[in-house]
Structure 1
């Protein structure tokens, strides 16, 4: 039964990576490329190469991503590599089939950039959410960050700066700027698709009135919390630290509770990527 569920899960992921690849291809071929706007990463370099050498975009996407797929296999694992192959192959094939698809929007450069970035990001986000990837430059950044004194995000920005300089040689300065904007929009859409619109927040509250705070959170938000003792490093005064995870819609209400119970409490708030297990399920409050 478990093996059957595993195969079914893999089948769903493969299907979603195929869909993600075709959606991304549609964004490229029906919106961005016809309006001289590119993308970042390996896809951006493939678009430039296609324009310069007259080669099919799909072939360049497939070939240029090969070393990154191998890198993903070595660094992340076999399933990631398989799903990435499926996604990138779908993107490459999709650009071939959709090369002559009529442009759905044109004229307004900024509108083209926004719409194209949204469609592209949606396709890439679906792939990432289902265990694959449609572009290999992020994997290169991860590898370099282990060997150089720079963070992954800094290296992604640096590598894409190089890409957009190359894009500028083909599409001009305006095309490079619009491509950078499209890439930025796509990255935000990817984030939303991967993590959802709701998201969660972790509150860490250091307070002298922990019992009332915990009870109020439970009564008004239906959330449980973790309570541990804490001591000031200099004052040696004993406090209690409350940890509680809430969704974004409850964030404002949580702050109101803290302000009401203990306005002098020390609060830190973190974005949470994913919540699993434990007692995160919300209890009815009415």
Structure 2
């Protein structure tokens, strides 16, 4: 299994991606990373998956090796859905299954609702549909979001790659070995310093977040089967009463718990890969049987 670098031209510039594409009838797994991560987040899983699926693992705009958007773009959430759709339109006619972690899962869930005729199956890691908040937060959200743009800072510099690895290990609770692909793809050496590649504008606050009612309608719009993989020590909100309510909005949802925190796919690699393979393989076989 060898991952290759590929560029996809989209409206704002180029999306960088790591891919493993073959001429076999295997389906495509489109793997979408989380906020301030990059496709290196999934590299440790790739050898466990490629026997069963082809892989397309893009870096979101402003992340990893992808181009940054213009000075006037602050990466509003729904633009990611548009970016994803532009990418999907360039892929082959093979069945495509979406796997998203955190932000990637939020975006994938919204795309699956907007394009139910194309969505074949969705795997969400540490997510249960799009993020939302109470209606009465809208004014504070708007003010703080605008003010955060005035306080924007350039990404911090670090003295070494080792320092960057140790910083991310402290945040994500993942081993240095498993974090190395993610960190090395997300950092660059400039003179004597190391700088994160991601666009500084990514760290500004959102000026809008959808209401619970909006999230409910989007989740209910997802027609395809959904697998949610949740870390036992991940985000508490995913094990809350509201999370239990959200689960009821899905038409066809399976929830699996695995050991780990928010990056549980890197802490429980074998279990996560096995769950994904089982989910996708069964759906793909069902699709082939329906055609025949």
TM-score (norm 2): 0.25
Structure with the higher fraction of residues in helix conformation: 1
Structure with the higher fraction of residues in strand conformation: 2
TM-score (norm 1): 0.25
Larger Rg: 1
